[in-house]
Amino acid sequence: MLLLAAALACSRSPGRDPAIAIDLDIDTTAAIPPAKTHHMGREIAQTMHFTGAPWLVRESRQREEDCRMLIEALGIKRGQTVCDLGCGNGFYTLELARRVGPTGTVWASDIQVEMLRMLVENAAEARLKNIRPVLGTPIDPRLPKAAVDLVLCVDVYHEFSHPDAMLARVHESLADDGVLVLAEFRGEDPAVPIKPLHKMTKAQVRAELGAAGFRLAREFDRLPWQHLMMFVKDEGAAGPGSPP
């Protein structure tokens, strides 16, 4: 059950040896350009600080977002390699790890090491060892190339400070038939009680992902507050950094 993540976050055992280790080996020589404030006419939201992690495991999240339905809609298969990008404290990571099973792998990428430490503690409590926590940067989630079957971004894409660079790296990481899934609060719906800066319309998502070399493959419209949009690589399109 996904809500088990909430219980785990509140019941960690001090001193437990983690079953998994965080990959902290980022390239400190790579130059990171100044963060963008806008992208294709959209104002970019600031990344949620790790001190806000309790909101990710709030009691009302299942009722408000139907997280179980979201997971079911992904069609995860045992043995797959998937990524929870912007994983935070692992609310979705743990369930993904259960779904892919011991022969599968879940890459958990976040730019805040504090979030990853929470995830590692939660994974240890859940006795899950098929998770690979990795410290990313604002321009690189540090995923293996051409190897990931599904990359899941839940309410995080709109916070990417360098969306072109991040989408280019995700494009490289996907297997030939890999899927990038975005869940974003519906910007078209004023009844969704989320600040407009943290919402996106379908038109915005399609335009930005199309410009990055992806094409929409499927949509799932049954979630209470969010769009769920699945993209695949559009090999006929010019992605970020490609010549005109």
Q: How far is C-alpha 170 from the geometric centre of its chain's CA atoms?
A: 11
Q: Let me know: does 123 contact 93? Beta carbons within 8 Å.
A: yes
The pLDDT > 70 percentage for the chain reads 89
The pLDDT score that the predictor gives to residue 121 is 96
| Per-residue confidence band for 240, with pLDDT thresholds at 50, 70 and 90 | low
Q: Which tokens hold the place of 219? A: 């949509």
- Find tokens 């994983």 and name the residue: 87
Spatial contact of 175 and 147, defined as CB atoms under 8 Å apart: yes
**pLDDT tens across 64-80, in order?**
999 999 999 999 999 99
172-230 pLDDT, tens digit each: 999 999 999 999 999 999 999 999 999 999 999 999 999 999 999 999 999 999 999 99
Ranges of beta strands (E only) in the chain are: 38-39, 42-43, 81-85, 105-110, 131-135, 148-154, 174-186, 199-200, 214-220, 226-233
Report the predicted TM-score, pTM, of the whole model to 2 decimal places: 0.88
Tokens coding 230: 């699945």
Mean pLDDT along residues 24-38: 94
141 or 237, which is more confident:
141
- The confidence band for 8, taking pLDDT boundaries of 50, 70 and 90, is very low
Q: Decide if pLDDT at 42 tops 60.
A: yes
Q: How far apart are CA 141 and CA 9, in angstroms?
A: 24
Question: What are the structural domains, with CATH classification, of the chain?
Answer: 4-8+60-233 (3.40.50.150)
Backbone φ, ψ for residue 85 (5° rounding): -95, 125
CB 226 within 8 A of CB 155: yes
Asked whether residue 5 carries a pLDDT value surpassing 50, the answer given is: no
With a cut of 60, say whether residue 243 has pLDDT above it: no
Quick count: other Cβ atoms within 10 Å of Cβ 23?
16
Q: Is the pLDDT of residue 10 over 70?
A: no
User: Which tens digits make up the pLDDT trace of 101-119?
Assistant: 999 999 999 999 999 999 9
* Phi, psi (rounded to 5 degrees) for 171: -55, -45
Q: Across all residues in the chain, what is the average pLDDT? A: 90
